[in-house]
Amino acid sequence: MPSHEVADLSLAEAGSARIAWAEGQMPVLAQVRERFAAERPLRDIRLAVCLHVTAETANLVATLIAGGAQVALCSANPLSAQDDVAAALVSAHGVEVHATRGEDIAAYTRHVHAVLDTNPHVTIDDGADLLATAHERGGPALETIIGGTEETTTGLVRLRRLEAAGKLRCPVLAVNEARTERALNDRHGTGQSALDGIVRASNVLLAGQTVVVLGYGWAGQGIAERARGAGAAVIVCEVDPLRALEARMAGYEVMRALEAAGRGDIFITVTGSVRVLRAAHFERMKDGAILANAGHFDVELDLDELAAQATDIRPVRPLVDQYELADGRRLHLLAQGRVVNLAAAEGHPAAVMDVSFALQALCAEELVRLRGAVAPAVLPVPNRIDVEVGRLKLAALGVAIDEQSDEQREYRQSWM
Ligand SMILES: NC(=O)c1ccc[n+]([C@@H]2O[C@H](COP(=O)([O-])OP(=O)(O)OC[C@H]3O[C@@H](n4cnc5c(N)ncnc54)[C@H](O)[C@@H]3O)[C@@H](O)[C@H]2O)c1
């Protein structure tokens, strides 16, 4: 039995069932795993992984092991670990896991350190906790690292600050910014799962509703598209003129948030900014309006101002709090303003994580291949890897596409 700190090993069987279900929806990762098993590109490599401990992550870990790696895993968020999956990874896959759902900050930090104590060669992060802690610690935990990968925007922000300060000690591949990741994860993953969270929490029929999407970035575009597809009328609010123009040209109504406040039935913030909906907006909203946030942090809805306007706050369903205002209107806040697709649904579906984690596995292989040959910096995922993942996903979907002829390639490269 490997070294571990998990909630309950007796949950392993349930965890294995969940891992198998996700596996069925991760054909790209399966193809990578098959090649890894034959070529063993990660043999003798110690890999430290700090991701949400989910069934999808378990399939990534199995792929890394198939490639020959020794893996230690902790959770990227104290609330996100699936205890049954953690148990299955320890007892069925022999993985060193340090993660329990609901762990306090002291346990969370201890788990990150335990994983770093394995003196990894490669780190896989979602939020940069492994690499940031390794840089803080210094010593063997940092010296052995030949590179890392990063899954999320927030982690890249931290690592770029480290780089700007001249302190980054290893190359990092920005998986979060790969083209396939952007196309699948933010648009389709967030697009579907944010609405899934809203529907699960409220049981509202989207058709016929007016949905206001605040922020028309990668994630907002996916949400707007899915809401329209479900029969809702969609209004977009933006602060970037180009994004606002794109939304208008895509056929959405675009207007100021103050104007949209009086029109919407469902409001979804997804900006990465702060206090996007405030007292002035709440004052104009219709009775029964629903408020949800799909941005990373729970700061996009000003909940203090909402509470200050309320004469009564009461839970009316699981994950729905009703704020009754002085004039009798009721506003419904979902999942306390936390990221709604994780708090009220299951985050990105496995088919989306299939692409993200195929990228992660191939980037780990790339870091091993480049060992010592690249300077410490935050680097884009090589286009070759992006194209490979896109190709594998198409193949898994049974889609064939044309190839350029030599004549066409030459024509497009010539300047005449
Ligand atoms: N829930 C999820 O699964 C998930 C997935 C991806 C991203 N995110 C989070 O969603 C947020 C947005 O991510 P993204 O990748 O779409 O970012 P992005 O930078 O592509 O888009 C954000 C958009 O919001 C706009 N914006 C900023 N302030 C605004 C305001 N006050 N009013 C209206 N629009 C405003 C920006 O102009 C930009 O177009 C981030 O917090 C990100 O971490 C969540």
Closest CA to 153 of 135, 131, 175: 175
Task: Inform me whether the pLDDT recorded for 79 exceeds 80.
Answer: no
Mean pLDDT of 338-343: 88
pLDDT at residue number 32: 97
Pick the residue whose CA is nearest to atom 18 on ligand 1. Answer: 217
Residues 312-331: what's their mean pLDDT? 97
Cα(183) to centroid(ligand 1), Å: 15
Q: Is the CB of 190 under 6 A from ligand 1?
A: yes
| pLDDT for res 163 | 97
- Compute the distance from residue 270 Cα to the ligand 1 centre, in Å: 5
158-188 pLDDT, tens digit per residue, is 999 999 999 999 999 999 999 999 888 888 9
Specify whether the CB–CB gap between 66 and 33 falls below 8 A: yes
Ligand 1 centroid–CA 290 distance in Å is 19
Angle, CA of 240, 299 and 78, to the nearest 5°: 125
Residue 311 pLDDT class (50, 70, 90 cuts): very high
Ligand 1 near 254 CB (within 6 A): no
- Rounded to the nearest angstrom, the distance between the alpha carbon of 325 and the centre of ligand 1 is 29
What percentage of the chain exceeds 70 in pLDDT?
Answer: 100
Q: With a cut of 80, say whether residue 416 has pLDDT above it.
A: no
Rounded Cα gap, residues 295 and 273, in angstroms: 8
Question: For a pLDDT cut of 90, what percent of the chain falls above it?
Answer: 91
Nearest CA owner, ligand 1 atom 37: 240
The CA-atom distances, in angstroms, between 186 and each of 113, 133, 252, 296 are: 30, 27, 19, 12
Report the separation in Å between the CA atom of 296 and the middle of ligand 1, taken as the mean of its atom positions.
Answer: 8
Average pLDDT over residues 372-380: 94
Which atom of ligand 1 is found nearest the CA of 300?
A: 31
- pLDDT average, residue stretch 200-205: 98
Q: Does the C-beta of 238 come closer than 6 Å to ligand 1?
A: yes
pLDDT class of 346 with cuts at 50, 70, 90: confident
* pLDDT digit string, tens, across residues 103-162: 999 999 999 999 999 999 999 999 999 999 999 999 888 999 999 999 988 899 999 999
Q: Nearest to residue 66, comparing CAs of 93, 96, 91?
A: 93
Interval 337-348 mean pLDDT: 88
Q: Which pLDDT score, from 0 to 100, does residue 121 have?
A: 97
User: How confident is the model over 268-294, as a mean pLDDT?
Assistant: 97
Give me the pLDDT at residue 154, please. Answer: 80
pLDDT in tens, 80-107: 789 999 999 999 999 999 999 889 999 9
In this prediction, residue 342 carries a pLDDT of 83
**pLDDT surpasses 90 at 216:** yes
Residue with tokens 């998986």: 175
Q: Is pLDDT above 80 for 301?
A: yes
Q: Which of 152, 271, 299, 341 to mutate to test the pocket of ligand 1 (most atoms within 8 A of CB)?
A: 271
Count CA within 13 A, CB hemisphere, residue 12: 13
Q: What is the pTM of this model?
A: 0.85
Cβ within 8 Å of residue 81, ≥6 positions away: 52, 53, 75, 99, 100, 101, 103
